[in-house]
Amino acid sequence: MSSYAIHIDGEPATIEALAPVIVSNYGAFTSMQVEDGAVRGLDLHLDRLRDEALALFGVAVPEARLRERMRAALEGLNGRHSLRVQLFLETVTMRTAWAKGEPGVLTVVSAPANPLCDPLRLQTQDYAREMPELKHNATFGLTLARRNAKAAGFDDALFVGPDGVVSEGSIWNIGFVEDGRIIWPRAPMLRGVGQRLLENGLDLVGLDSESRLIDRAALAGFRSAFICNSATPACPVAHIDGQALDVDPALIDRLQAAWASNAPQTI
Q: Where are the beta strands (DSSP E) in the chain?
A: 5-8, 11-12, 28-35, 38-40, 80-88, 104-110, 120-126, 156-160, 166-169, 173-178, 181-185, 208-212, 224-228, 235-240, 243-244, 264-266
Note whether 104 and 207 are same-domain residues: no
Q: Would 229 be classed as within a structural domain?
A: yes
Segments of the chain scoring below 50 in pLDDT: 1
Give the domain extent around 205: 120-266
Q: What is the model's pTM?
A: 0.95
Q: Would 77 be classed as within a structural domain?
A: yes
Task: Determine the Cα–Cα distance for residues 267 and 263; give it in Å rounded to an integer.
Answer: 13
Task: Determine the Cα–Cα distance for residues 98 and 57; give it in Å rounded to an integer.
Answer: 9
Q: Would 235 be classed as within a structural domain?
A: yes
Task: Determine the Cα–Cα distance for residues 226 and 173; give it in Å rounded to an integer.
Answer: 9
CATH code (residue 215): 3.20.10.10
Number of domains in the chain: 2
pLDDT tens digit sequence for 13-67: 999 999 999 999 999 999 999 999 999 999 999 999 999 999 999 999 999 999 9
- Partners of residue 157 on adjacent β-strands: 123
Residue 3: predicted pLDDT: 86
Residues in CB range of 62: below 8 A, 6 or more apart:
none
CATH code (residue 52): 3.30.470.10
Q: Would 233 be classed as within a structural domain?
A: yes
Residue 2: predicted pLDDT: 55
Residues in CB range of 156: below 8 A, 6 or more apart:
120, 121, 122, 123, 146, 149, 169, 170, 172, 227
Is the Cβ–Cβ distance between 157 and 145 less than 8 Å? yes
Residue 3 CB burial class (10 angstroms; 0-12, 13-18, ≥19): exposed
